[in-house]
Structure 1
Amino acid sequence: MIHSPDSALREALIDFVYREARLLDEKNFDAWHNLFAEDGLYWIPLVPNQQDGLNHVSLMYEDRLLLKLRIERLKEPRAFSQQPESRCQHVLQRPEVEAAEGEAGYRLRTPFFYAEARGDEQLIFTGVVRHHLVGENGAWRIREKRIDLLNCDAALPSVQLFM
């Protein structure tokens, strides 16, 4: 059964998206990682309108284990890619609840700008983030975070942190 969330639930879902971005900006990667469901995925498609991340090449297609490995690498004081250390900032439009799927969760759409700086270099990306959130043990969890970059099919530089 598809139903529309009430205003309090909608605000809680929207607050979750804002909180997730803040955790990334503050480099609280462990708390961010804990927002993912056990079967959670972080996906950045390689081409516009890509339908499948498993059977097609993607910029990133990572489960919780791969995300944890990336987080541990970022914490390593000798990580060459983090000399000097990267910093990031998310600027989000207000998230919109696109679909309410009852027990299957909620889907949100959020246009964004993302900047990542390291030393004298700054990268800027824009696109749309799509969250699939599910209730798990009384808390919201990310089943899938899909980042559709505006220029996903361009030759892109290496992004060190998480969008």
Structure 2
Amino acid sequence: MTDPRDFAAQEAALLDERRFDDWLAMFAEDGHYWVPLLGAAQADPFSHNSLAYEDRLLLQLRVERLKNPRAHSQHPASHSQHVLQPSRIEREEGDEAWLRTPFLYVEARGEGQILLSGTTRHHLVRTPEGWRIREKRVDLLNAPRALPAIQLFI
């Protein structure tokens, strides 16, 4: 995959197919997954609380929990569906690219279902293996409202 605009769709497909190990491999060693509590208004993950700010180690722990057959929160298993608008390159410099992708996200478990919307921003770095995520930022629409428990990855 040479065009970074294809990245978000490939990532979403892996998540929707529950291929969490393959998804985790898309992160650079210094990669982070960030869901700001204040949405797009939040400048960084350090000056205010976040819904999630996880490095690769924490992401690996979440993936292992999701795969564990004894994980109570996954009986029945959660499933997701990402509906994406086309990604737009906001900036590209050398071996780095910044993508912006508006989305709808549905997560279902048993009889329950949640719907979230927002914009994902990927900061990608090109490696010999292809594009990798340095940071995935998920700005939820109306982020500060009370949210249900999100089991998977937006």
Name the counterpart of 1:32.
Answer: 23
Give the 4+ runs in structure 1 shifted more than 2 A: none
* 1:81 aligned residue (73, 87, 95): 73
* Greater per-residue strand proportion: 2
Which digits, 9 at most, give the CA deviation of each residue in 1:17-65, with x for residues without a partner? 1100000000000000000000000000000310111342100000000
Aligned amino acid, residue 53 of structure 1: P
Query: CA separation in 2, counterparts of 1:97 and 1:138?
Result: 20
Query: CA separation in 2, counterparts of 1:113 and 1:83?
Result: 24
* Structure 1 residue 154: Cα displacement: 0.3
Q: How many residues align?
A: 153
* Structure 1 residue 102: Cα displacement: 1.7
Which of these two proteins has the greater Rg computed from alpha carbons? Answer: 1
Query: CA separation in 2, counterparts of 1:24 and 1:66?
Result: 17
Which digits, 9 at most, give the CA deviation of each residue in 1:57-108, with x for residues without a partner? 10000000000000000011111111111010000000000011223x0000
1:54/1:61 contact within 8 Å kept: no
Percent identity reads 57
Q: TM-score when scaled to structure 1?
A: 0.91
* 2:12 aligned residue (18, 21, 24): 21
Name the counterpart of 1:93.
Answer: 85
Give the CA RMSD over aligned residues: 1.2
* Structure 1 residue 16: Cα displacement: 1.6
* Structure 1 residue 136: Cα displacement: 1.4
Secondary structure of 1:78's partner? coil
Query: CA separation in 2, counterparts of 1:77 and 1:130?
Result: 32
Query: CA separation in 1, counterparts of 2:134 and 2:17?
Result: 22
Secondary structure of 2:23's partner? helix
Query: CA separation in 2, counterparts of 1:96 and 1:85?
Result: 32
Name the counterpart of 1:66.
Answer: 58
Unaligned runs of 5+ in 2: none
Secondary structure of 2:44's partner? coil
* 1:117 aligned residue (108, 112, 116): 108
Query: CA separation in 1, counterparts of 2:5 and 2:58?
Result: 26
Unaligned runs of 5+ in 1: 1-7
Aligned amino acid, residue 33 of structure 2: Y
Query: CA separation in 1, counterparts of 2:17 and 2:142?
Result: 26
Aligned amino acid, residue 98 of structure 1: E
